[in-house]
Amino acid sequence: MKEITCKLLVIGAGPGGYVSAIRAGQLGIDTVIVEMAKPGGTCLNIGCIPSKALIHAADDFHRTAAMAAGRNAMGIRAENLAIDFGRTMAWKDGITGRLTMGVAGLLKKAGVKMVVGRARFRDGKTVEVETETGQQVIRAENVVIATGSAPVELPMLPFGGKIISSTGALSLAQVPERLAVVGAGYIGLELGIAFAKLGSKVTIVEALDRILPLYDTQLTQPVAKRLSALGVEVLLGTKVKGMSSNGETLLADAADGEERRVAADKVLVTVGRKPVTEGWGREELELDMDGRYLRIDDQCRTSMRGIYAIGDVTGEPMLAHRAMAQGEMVAEIVSGKRRSWDRRAIPAVCFTDPEIVSVGLSPDEARAAGREVKIGQFPFSANGRAMTLSSEEGFVRVVARADNHLVLGIQGVGAGISELSAAFSIAVEMGARLEDIAGTIHAHPTQSEAFAEAALKTLGHALHV
Ligand code: FAD
Ligand code: NAD
């Protein structure tokens, strides 16, 4: 048995864990990171990155298909259209491969020791890892738990065979002819739209009476319209019961009590993710829980001294950039810096068609918080750049305090709007007022002008509507 000691041990090399380890290494902290799969975690290997690669490929294919059919106003024609899906997937795997190798390289450059295997706590300061070459014991002054999350399985639709999770959907060998998607949340809609564009007949079954319950209906309405244009059938208020006895058809109960039958070659179940709180010896520790998540304070400290937790295992929002920000903060705390969680803005971006961005408070959230607000909205149909891109659907909306014009939240929906999320976040994080945004020169012609115009609209004098 081999034994090592270190000042900081990080369990899990997803965005939370690897960022924490890199920053700790940069700060000269003697750091070890343990990962049982590949560096980069869910995000780089089976989440954010491969899904966005597939979404982009599907977009390109669909746009070209529209051209082939002569369905574009610019008069572009393309002939002999086909997609070699094997090559699409190989291209996607190439991207994740480059990124995971990159993370391994960055860890090495920061002087972090990487141990490959499943970590398990023996006690609060000792972890054992089953590696390929035998057991490794690691004694650490501080431990960061960054074990992430896993897809929720429905008891009546256990994963296996044609019932797949997002991981299965991102490694399909062929585009399924008929795809049923259970859950109209982030993953169901991002991947459901991508497969619809790749040619699948997609049916989405959602238990609630609306899609993307996280966002208000004004923001989701353009996505609902696009789903309809893509021929995606969306069954709202519909509860899945399981597969038919011959395994061919997904059975569900519609809101009106009628049984719905959805013939499917693959059934993608995307009904949320659960924190990975088992399989690493939590039973050996005394960690307080916050529901199903590990309880943390504003420094990501758990209820045990010297043990921190970050990322999806600590709760919502389960987003890669939140995990990374927590990871960076914890490394600095371990190095002795005075840090605590003081972030105002965690942007949420849904990579649907069109994309949705939300930063800070929505109008309803601001009102619920007791604020008197001013709201202004600017449509992309009045934005020159959006017209030149043939993507006039959507808008930017600004929510500000009525009294002093402090910006409380910014939301938007539109093609490519994910790239505006940084501008929105900076405004909220830096405490911008409407006048700051309206007084900033936004380059012409860009979609970002819609942001300045939305601020002007909130002030009562937009120029281009
Ligand atoms: P993870 O990335 O889950 O990493 C945890 C790591 O810990 C894993 O590598 C795991 O193997 C390892 N591990 C667990 N237990 C042990 C153990 N006992 N020993 C050793 N290693 C262990 N978020 C976004 O912000 N933007 C997106 O566009 C986005 N798209 C997504 C698309 C999909 C399809 C999915 C599934 C998720 C997406 N997410 C997205 C969410 C994002 O992937 C997660 O929020 C993020 O990966 C969380 O990071 P983490 O470090 O907490 O955990
Ligand atoms: P989600 O929470 O976004 O959506 C789940 C959906 O499934 C909800 O609409 C819910 O009402 C529905 N649902 C739940 N039980 C159901 C049932 N029995 N039948 C039918 N519908 C049911 O979950 P997800 O799409 O699995 O994504 C998980 C998490 O991953 C997200 O919450 C997010 O944190 C992260 N993620 C983020 C991004 C991004 O940032 N762009 C992309 C993908 C995933």
Q: What is the pLDDT of residues 283-310, one digit of tens each?
A: 999 999 999 999 999 999 999 999 999 9
Residue nearest (by alpha carbon) to ligand 2 atom 4: 185
For 162-187, the pLDDT digits (tens) are: 999 999 999 999 999 999 999 999 99
Q: Which residues pair with 348 in a beta bridge?
A: 358
Residue 136 shares a structural domain with residue 8: yes
* Predicted pLDDT at 294: 98
- Same domain (yes/no): 374, 240: no
Q: Whose CA is closest to atom 50 on ligand 1?
A: 148
Residue 369 lies in a domain: yes
**Atom number in ligand 2 closest to CA 312:** 34
What was the pLDDT predicted at 302?
98
- Find the CATH number of the domain harbouring 120: 3.50.50.60
Q: If we measure between CA atoms, which residue out of 25, 55, 11 comes closest to residue 287? A: 11
Number of domains making up the chain:
3
The closest ligand to the CA of 183 turns out to be 2
One-letter amino acid at 238 equals T
339 in a structural domain: no
- Going by alpha carbons, the residue nearest to atom 3 of ligand 2 is 185
Q: With respect to residue 266, please indicate whether it lies within any of the assigned structural domains.
A: yes
If asked whether residues 17 and 104 sit together in one domain, one would say yes
Last residue of a domain, one of 302, 334, 366: 334
pLDDT at 74: 81
Residue 248 forms part of a structural domain? yes
Mark whether 258 and 283 lie in a shared domain: no
46 and 103 belong to one structural domain = yes
Same domain, 110 and 204: no
Q: Which domain holds residue 261?
A: 163-271
Q: What is the number of residues in the chain?
A: 465
Q: Ligand 2 atom closest to Cα of 350?
A: 41
For residue 451, pLDDT over 80 is answered with yes
- Given a cut of 90, whether residue 77 has pLDDT beyond it is no
Percentage of the chain beyond pLDDT 70 is 100
The CA-based angle 294-44-276, given to 5 degrees, is 20
In a domain, 280, yes or no: yes
User: 128 and 140 in one domain?
Assistant: yes
Does residue 258 share a domain with residue 312? no
Query: Which of 241, 256, 271 is the last residue before a domain boundary?
Result: 271
**Domain end residue (candidates: 283, 303, 334):** 334
Using a 6 Å cutoff on CB, does residue 319 contact ligand 1?
A: yes
CA angle 226, 84, 194 (to 5 degrees): 20
**What is the DSSP code string of 143-170?**
EEE---EEEPPBTTB-SBTTEE-HHHHT
**What pLDDT does 169 receive?**
98
* SS3 category, 345: coil
CA distance 264 to 267: 6
- Residue 68 forms part of a structural domain: no
CA of 273 to the centre of ligand 2 (A): 7
How far is residue 211's CA from residue 456's CA, in Å, rounded to a whole number? 31
Same domain, 279 and 305: yes
Minimum-distance ligand 2 atom for the alpha carbon of 318: 34
Q: Produce one character per residue of 107-136: b if its CB has 16 or more CB atoms within 10 Å, e if not.
A: beebebbbbbbbbbbeebbbbbbeeeeeeb
Residue 142 lies in a domain: yes
For residues 384-402, average pLDDT = 97
Residues 263 and 280 in one domain: no
Task: Supply the CATH number for residue 397's domain.
Answer: 3.30.390.30
Residues 231 and 194 in one domain: yes
Indicate whether 13 and 143 sit together in one domain.
yes
**What pLDDT digit, counting tens, does each position of 222-241 carry?**
999 999 999 999 999 999 99
Identify whether 461 is a catalytic site residue: no
Say if 81 falls within a structural domain: no
CA of 184 to the centre of ligand 2 (A): 7
